[in-house]
Structure 1
Amino acid sequence: MAAARWAPIMGLLALLLPLAPAPARAAMPAGSPPPSPSPSSTVFQLHGDVYPTGHFYVTMNIGDPAKPYFLDVDTGSDLTWLQCDAPCQSCNKVPHPLYKPTKTKIVPCSDPLCTALHNGQSPTKKCTSPQQCDYEITYADNLSSLGVLLTDSFSMTLRNSSNVRPSLGFGCGYDQQAGKNGSVEAMTDGLLGLGRGAVSLGSQLKQQGVTKNVLGHCLSTSGGGFLFFGEDIAPPSRTTWVPMARTTSGNYYSPGSAALYFDGRPLGVKLMEVVFDSGSTYTYFTSQPYQATLSSIKGGLSRSLEQVSDPSLPLCWKGQRPFKSVSDVKKDFKSLQLSFGKNAVMEIPPENYLIVTKNGNVCLGILDGSAVKLSLNIIGDITMQDQMVIYDNERAQLGWIRGSCVRRPKSFMSSFL
């Protein structure tokens, strides 16, 4: 849901125009290999952190021969795209050489993948010619990516020890509007779209029989973590599951509406419509729950904490000496809880809503969503740290379970059992 990281950490949240949900059975792009008889799963190492990097990203090897690209992991948007030399009209400085397309990889306008992409955009984007599928993605903070849809090989190693190279559709972005041309240096080459739509990577892997349409991530507070596709990675028990709900603003991953508690006490705000979004660094509450949270946190603070200005985030405090980590100050803060229905609770301890900056201050990582005109409450990376979050599109349910995210799983996650 957040735009690609061309913007600073502050104010980078941007809502993608919702794309069409995946059909029950979608046609594969032209030239795709036949489905494998037994879908497996695959795991990728994640890099980055909430602070100071401000995002988590994965290395994807794309093309023939395969070349590495850093992609922001974003469950809040559908289309994967790379900055692309098509030639490039407006691109930013990125870690790797721009992807170079070939005409044989261009998806025609008549392809079902193009239809699915266009059906979800508003206003509806039309092809400029039958030979190519044009796209334009616009984000709420006025960032955008304009390009054409391509297919190319994505190199993956499955847990059944086979190496596969499915031909997947993605955007070749030759016009990115984010600052003046070449003036923005991005830490990634593009974006990995993991949303619920038919053009998302998880949907396409399911369509080609590579994995089931189940994906998840585990973000570590110490940096890094892992991303997975397939249904045999998630632990079989102790996971909190809730049905996926439809949201008022689009086809996002939502566990529905939640009641908000602070230190076990209800805050008296109306039920909050919640979305999980790995593309957002921080968590955003709409006006009423944000103000209630702010009041409760401030009311319980020690007098030894003094509010201070810090360029990292809007609300920060300093202590008698600089803090080295959240553990130095967590005793002064209480946990939040989001309650979905009767039995599903997401605990948000201080380490899931606070950061310590390079200046030694502690800052609140829950931001005011009304300042960026949000009508939804966004659970971002900071709140999803040190728990596996599972997006099960096969059963239309979301799950989470707390545990260490430092190591990639080799079997069922023993640290979560």
Structure 2
Amino acid sequence: MSASKPLISITILVLLLRLHFFTLITPTTCSSENITHSAFQYLNVRETILSSKLIPHSPVENDQLSQTHQQHNKTNDINLNLIPRDFVFPSKYRNHAHRFHQRMKRDSIRVSSLVHRLSGSGTGSGSQEGVKYELNDFGSDVVSGMDQGSGEYFVRIGVGSPPRSQYMVIDSGSDIIWVQCQPCKQCYRQSDPVFNPAESASFAGVSCTSAVCDRLENAGCQSGRCRYEVQYGDGSYTKGTLALETLTFGRTMVKNVAIGCGHRNRGMFVGAAGLLGLGGGSMSFVGQLGGQTGGAFSFCLVSRDTNSYGSLVFGLSALPVGAAWVPLLRNPRAPSFYYIGLAGVGVGGVRVPIPEDVFRLTELGDGGVVMDTGTAVTRLPAPAYEAFRNAFLVQTLSLPRANGVSIFDTCFDLSGFVSVRVPTVSFYFSDGPILTLPARNFLIPVDEAGAFCFAFAPSASGLSIIGNIQQEGIQISVDGANGFVGFGPNVC
């Protein structure tokens, strides 16, 4: 009996040493791309640091950006390249740490805006749907607090007849489609010539009495023309007239799309001409396509530290077979936003003990979990975040810690490693599906020296937001007609 005790002690010691060894020193052949439901996976530290040093190149200025996928599209679906911000408009700041801090600034402002809008404390400029205001009743000018502009992902589309190519910000939390227009009383600088409606044969103004004007949340009227106004959380805004226009996506033309023709625009949208709203409201591009696509679209966001494109597809082919489908929840108080039922989070294959009510969308429209392409870092209510972070820390005790950076309080010094073994991180959805994230979607580099941070942050409110870092590389599909959001099965 006494002879077995040393043997047990030695066995435990060997197991502990083996765990320590594999956490710190991993084979260079192990791929961080292999996502399983196991307790651990690998992060390729060296590859990630190298990619963060790559300076994105501006694409050649032509319409191939919107035509690449169309050449292979045998259906009537609209299939576009989705372009990360830094790839289209390289920042003059070539240091990854500086680009990271600028991104976190934009992110904090975006989150503050969403919390403000979704908490019921603010509704844009306050007008009610269907109410017509004279021009002088519109909100007063505000100055953008952003020195780096808005927008994280872009598409290239043609506006008007003949089509004029323009870069457009995509935003899953906005409905209005708009471009800067001549005559421009107040415009920010953009990379393409400002759209001139007088040169478009398909441009048609919308009257104040039209049904389309009634669908605007903030509608105005001047000289019989319907006017719109949109204000964003960073202080940027666009104001102008509503029109029907033809938009061209590669080889596909969509006629009579209601767009805002912005004559007064403030802010810096990173050189983009305007915004393509992908929200759940009737005025978004998805809402206006309606029966043509069944309210279906999918997207895949590529990492911002690569020179590759993501994809944005409108149409029934956007709904893949084999995806993990979860119910799409609607908040009547915020119909533009896509809410999903999140039941919990997991670390190392084990669900963290957090009450499901923390993530629940109430009958009054409070709380809940929003998927947002414009937010970078996933936010969780503070109690949920703390339990989640602590569970992650327990399983990464062997990794050397580093000081917190920006909004992140959990960081590691991985400068001496080629690859590290880390616990899996998963989202548990209300109806049972589990989404396990790639390691690069939750441990991200914050400089070029090897500092990595756990890419989640606490929310000061009850609202949870799943950001674009956690969405990267995963095909996400929205079946608006049937009320579902799908994840996978393709990794892109």
- The TM-score normalised by the length of structure 1 is 0.73
Per the alignment, residue 44 of structure 1 pairs with: 80
Percent of residue pairs identical: 23
Gaps of 5+ in 2: 1-74, 87-95, 104-151, 360-367
Alignment of 1:11-410 (within 5 A): 40-48=76-84, 55-89=152-186, 91-102=187-198, 105-118=204-217, 125-129=218-222, 131-157=224-250, 163-178=252-267, 184=268, 186-206=270-290, 209=292, 211-221=293-303, 222=306, 223-236=308-321, 238-247=322-331, 250-251=334-335, 252-271=337-356, 272=359, 273-308=368-403, 310=405, 314-315=408-409, 317-319=411-413, 321=415, 328=418, 331=421, 333-360=422-449, 361-370=451-460, 374-405=461-492
C-alpha separation between the residues in 2 aligned to 1:217 and 1:263?
28
Cα–Cα, structure 1 residues 145 and 316, in superposed 2: closer, same or farther, change >3 Å? farther
Distance 1:81 1:270, change over 3 A: farther
**CA deviation digits over 1:193-249, x for unaligned, max 9?**
011111111121225x4x33211101223442100000023322x211122112375
The two structures, once aligned, show a CA RMSD in angstroms of 2.9
1:168-216 deviations in Å (ceiling 9; x for gaps): 11122333343xxxxx471422221011111111121225x4x332111
Say which is worse superposed, 388-397 or 251-260, in terms of deviation.
251-260
Contact 1:92 1:186 in 2 (8 A): no
- 2: CA distance between counterparts of 1:65 and 1:86? 19
What is the SS of the residue equivalent to 1:114? Answer: helix
Following superposition, the deviation at residue 297 of structure 1 comes to: 2.6
1:190–1:152 Cα change, 3 Å: same
Give 1:269's aligned amino acid: I
Report if aligned partners of 2:84, 2:302 keep a CA contact under 8 Å in 1: no
Structure 1 residue 318: deviation in Å?
4.8
Q: Which residue is equivalent to 1:122?
A: none
Cα 1:203/1:292, change in 2 over 3 Å: same
2:297 partner SS: strand
Distance 1:164 1:191, change over 3 A: closer
User: What CA distance in whole angstroms lies between the structure 1 residues aligned with 2:338 and 2:279?
Assistant: 7
How many corresponding residue pairs?
Answer: 340
How far, CA to CA, are the matches of 1:365 and 1:176 in structure 2?
33
- In structure 2, what is the Cα distance between the partners aligned to 1:226 and 1:342? 27
* Partner amino acid, structure 1, of 2:176: L
Match of 1:133, SS state, is strand
227-236 or 302-311: bigger deviation:
302-311
Distance 2:453 2:262 in 1: 35
Alignment match, 1:4: none
Question: Aligned pair in 2 of structure 1 residues 109, 305: CA closer, same or farther (>3 Å)?
Answer: farther
TM-score (norm 2): 0.62
1:87–1:320 distance in 2 versus 1, CA, 3 Å: closer
**Distance (Å, rounded) in 2 between the aligned partners of 1:339 and 1:193:** 28
Alpha carbons 1:56, 1:224 under 8 Å: kept: no
Amino acid at match of 2:464: N
Q: Residue 45 and residue 320 in structure 1: after superposition, are their counterparts in 2 closer, same or farther (change >3 A)?
A: closer
Is the contact between residue 46 and residue 56 of structure 1 (CA under 8 Å) also seen in structure 2? yes
Asked if the contact 1:261/1:338 (under 8 Å) is kept, the reply is: yes
Report the 3-state secondary structure (helix = DSSP H, G, I; strand = E; otherwise coil) of the residue aligned with 1:166.
strand
Residues 146 and 173, structure 1, Cα contact 8 Å, conserved in 2:
yes
| Structure (1 or 2) with the greater helix fraction | 2
What's the counterpart of residue 144 of structure 2? none
After superposition, the Cα gap between the structure-2 partners of 1:139 and 1:285, relative to the gap in structure 1 and judged at 3 Å, is farther
The more displaced of 333-342 and 270-279 is 333-342
Query: Cα distance 1:84–1:287, how it changes in 2: closer, same or farther (>3 A)?
Result: farther
Contact 1:108 1:130 in 2 (8 A): no
Between the aligned partners of 1:309 and 1:84, the Cα distance in structure 2 is: 44
Cα deviation, residue 303, structure 1: 4.8
Query: CA 1:189–1:294 in 2, change beyond 3 Å: closer, same or farther?
Result: farther
* 2:350 partner amino acid: R
Partner of 1:127: helix, strand, or coil? strand
* Contact 1:40–1:212 (CA under 8 A) maintained in structure 2: no
Deviation, 1:306, is 2.9
CA distance in 1, matches of 2:275, 2:178: 5
Per the alignment, do residues 293 and 93 of structure 1 end up closer, same or farther by CA in structure 2, a change over 3 Å counting?
farther
Deviation of 1:101 (Å) = 3.1
The AA in structure 2 aligned to 1:153 is: T
Please give the per-residue CA displacement for 1:244-285, whole angstroms capped at 9, x wherever unaligned: 112375122122242222223332323212111122222222
